Structures are given as C-alpha cells and as structure tokens.
Amino acid sequence: MATTRKATTQWQGSLMEGSGQVTLESSGLGTYDVTWASRAEDPNGRTSPEELIAAAHASCYAMAFSGRLARFGTPPERLSVSAEVTSSTNVLGPLANATGGEARRIADASGNLSIPRILAVRSTDTYKGDDWLGLKMRDASVVRGIGVLPMFAGLLGLLLLVGALAAMWAREGR
C-alpha cells in the first residue's frame, strides 16, 4: 500500500540572508523555521533538512526493528533510536568522480556562494566543468499533448475569410 506524505517550504531572500518555513502538511503538526545558519551553524531553535532526515531515519528504523522483534516473539516494551546526518562530500565524492561527476558544496565555510549552472548533456564521459554540472538526458520521459497546427493553414483560412468579406462588401455596394 503506497502512502504519500506532504511537506512544503516557503523561502524568502537569498541563501545566506534568507529564511523559510517548513510546513508538515500531512500530519498538520506545525510549521518550523529554517535558515542556512540552522544548517551550517547553530540551530538556534530552528530545524534543518538534515534534522528532518535524521528524524525520518530514526523513526523508520525503530518501527522496522520493533516489527522484526515482534515477528520473532519478543516484542519490545520500548526502543530508543537516534540518528545523525552529516552533510559532507566525503562519501559521495569518490563515487561521483568515478562516474564522471562531482560532489560539491554550494557555499564554503565563509559563506561564499559558488552555484554551478545545470546543463543537459547527451552521451559524454564528463558531467562537470569549472562552473557547470551536467545532467544526462536519458529520454526516459514521455511528453503527451503537444499539438501542432501549421501556420500556413491558419493564414490561408484568414485570407479566405477576408476575401469572402471583401466580396460581400463589393456585391453589397453595387
């Protein structure tokens, strides 16, 4: 059984000076403030995407482990699970480099932004440059509903209509 949960974020301002609010819409549990500083520095009463991911990991693991224990006849009375999420390029970097890509931070520790351009690339061995990252086009999407009406047919119809109006006007004038 598939379930869908929804959360939305409203963001205002630039990355470094801006702020936003994350709303947990499915549960209705509330709206939480989020800023770049809450991700990179002290949370100061605000949440971050990493904290929300850690909460999801911890709760999913606790539920799965509880279910497994119950299946083997030893249901737990209580479980305490914690998870930590660290934002780093150290783990993903070697894999990305081995496949022609790159894992990079968009802001360094001093807050200088370096946001790469995103380009669509076809068959190539390189998916990165000094100021760009490439996304491989896989032709895996389906486009439906494109209608094409030749412009000539429309112009021809317009000319016929104008001609008919001119002919009626000329006949009426005699």
Digit-coded pLDDT (tens) for 81-131: 999 988 778 887 888 888 777 787 777 666 677 777 888 877 766 677 777
- Return the closest-CA partner of residue 23 out of 14, 12, 11, 15: 11
Which range of residues forms the domain containing residue 121? 91-141
Residue 129 in domain: yes
If you average pLDDT over every residue of the chain, what do you get?
84
Provide the pLDDT for residue 14.
86
Maximum distance among all Cα pairs of the chain, rounded to whole angstroms: 103
Contact yes or no for 71/54 (Cβ under 8 A): no
Tell whether 4 is covered by a domain: no
Q: Does 63 map to a domain?
A: no
- Judge if pTM exceeds 0.75: no
DSSP 130: S
Residue 48 belongs to a domain: no
- Does residue 158 form part of some domain? no
Task: Specify if 67 maps to a domain.
Answer: no
Q: Does 3 fall in a domain?
A: no
**Within-domain flag for 108:** yes
Domains in the chain, number: 1
pLDDT in tens, 128-147: 777 787 777 776 666 666 66
pLDDT score, position 39? 81
Q: 37-60: string of b/e by CB count within 10 Å (b at 16+)?
A: bbbeeeeeebbbeebbebeeebee
